Amino acid sequence: MKVTVGVFATILDAAGQVLLVHRTDCDWWCQPGGGMESGETPWDGVIREVREETGFEVAIERLVGVYSWAPRKDEIIFSFVCRITGGAPATSEESDDVRFFAPDELPANTCPEHVHRLQDALLAQAQTLLKAAQGPSSREVARGRA
């Protein structure tokens, strides 16, 4: 059995808006993040993914939650709250737009899985959430299986 591990970031600006990226492989807005690479820790992976997809350097503030699709699917997601420490907005092969949105004004085509994680992050609970994920994963959405 091969388990897929994903890492995603909730990043807020000074006005409390959340950073999203628009994917190049589908018409979805998503949290910056993606799959961990071999030999990488989840915290190093999310920092790398944010830099690659947004151009921003970030520092991790806290782990929001760990999400699992088991038993339906062997995928685990680590969700972090991060803050920007440097860099400038930039697109990549994976993202063709990088933008901040008010949490109550997210685009209609924001990946539902990411909306749930953003909502969890904005609750600012002291305890890390351990949750069974609901609905399609972002991989399923990107592959048109949602």
| Residue 125: predicted pLDDT | 86
Q: Cα-flanking dihedrals φ and ψ of residue 131, to 5°? A: -130, 145
Confidence of residue 145 (pLDDT cuts 50, 70, 90): low
Residue 143 forms part of a structural domain: no
Domain count of the fold of the chain = 1
Q: Which residues contact 44 (CB under 8 A, 6 or more apart)?
A: none
Residue 52 forms part of a structural domain: yes
Domain that holds residue 69: 4-137
| Residue 124: predicted pLDDT | 87
pLDDT tens-digit profile of 37-67? 999 999 999 999 999 999 999 999 999 999 9
| Residue 136: predicted pLDDT | 72
The model's pTM:
0.91
| Residue 138: predicted pLDDT | 67
Average pLDDT over residues 78-104: 97
Average pLDDT over residues 110-123: 94
Residue 44 forms part of a structural domain: yes
Which string of DSSP letters, residue by residue, matches 70-104?
TTT--EEEEEEEEEEEEE-----SSEEEEEEE-GG
> When comparing pLDDT for 142 and 15, which is higher?
15
